[in-house]
Amino acid sequence: MPHTLTELVAGAVPIVVEETRGYWEGTLEEKLLIQKCNTCGHFQMPWGPCCTRCLSQDLGSQQASGRATVYSFTVVRQAIHPDFSAQVPYVLADVQLEEGPIMTSNVTDIDPEGVSIGMPVRVWFDEELEDAFHVKLRLPKFRPQEMTEA
């Protein structure tokens, strides 16, 4: 099925590329994997083709604990793409992982008005999706920490 460029780059499902394949494979096993530079030890999210600190291409990964805090967020009230129409309002957030890197995700399972900076959150993995090239993935999302301790 043909896709428009807008569908590919702005829709709700990311495209898995070679540089991020390991990350998305991790999500299928409910593992949040941080890219780790084998040369200098730098952690980075999102994954890329080289270390953003030393430019090494010798990269591995380490499983994150899944614990994070809300670093910054916004409440999206107007869908910028039809994929998001049923989801508004929703929380688009940068969360800082316990290990240091900041990643963009969603904070779910809470009234958007109840989200605050510094709030402890924990990762969960949404239902399995396929990207435009039929590669399976699950989107890591975050919910308030107290909900996951029950």
List the one residue from 16, 32, 34, 51 that touches Zn ion (CB under 5 A): 51
Q: Which residues contact 72 (CB under 8 A, 6 or more apart)?
A: 93, 94, 117
Q: How many CB atoms lie within 10 A of CB 80?
A: 11
Q: If residue 147 lies in a helix (H) or strand (E), which one and from where to where? A: helix 145-148
List the one residue from 17, 54, 88, 117 that touches Zn ion (CB under 5 A): 54
The upper half-sphere exposure of residue 89, i.e. CA atoms within 13 Å in the direction of its Cβ, equals 12
62 binds Zn ion (CB under 5 A): no
List the one residue from 21, 30, 46, 56 that touches Zn ion (CB under 5 A): 56
Q: Among candidates 142, 45, 42, which has minimal Cα distance to 103?
A: 45
Length of the chain: 150
40 binds Zn ion (CB under 5 A): yes
37 binds Zn ion (CB under 5 A): yes
Q: Considering only residues 64-123, where is the footprint of Zn ion by CB under 5 A?
A: none
Scanning 19-27, 36-44, 102-110, 113-121 for contacts with Zn ion by CB under 5 A, the matching segment is 36-44
42 binds Zn ion (CB under 5 A): yes
- Return the number of the residue (52 or 65) whose C-beta is nearest Zn ion: 52
Q: State yes or no: cis peptide before 101, omega within 30 of 0.
A: no
52 binds Zn ion (CB under 5 A): no
39 binds Zn ion (CB under 5 A): yes
Amino acid at 98: E
Q: State yes or no: cis peptide before 82, omega within 30 of 0.
A: no
Q: Which two structure tokens, joined as six digits, stand for 8?
A: 């590919």
Scanning 28-36, 44-52, 81-89, 126-134 for contacts with Zn ion by CB under 5 A, the matching segment is 44-52
38 binds Zn ion (CB under 5 A): no
Residues of this chain that interact with Zn ion (CB under 5 A) are: 37, 39-40, 42, 51, 53-54, 56
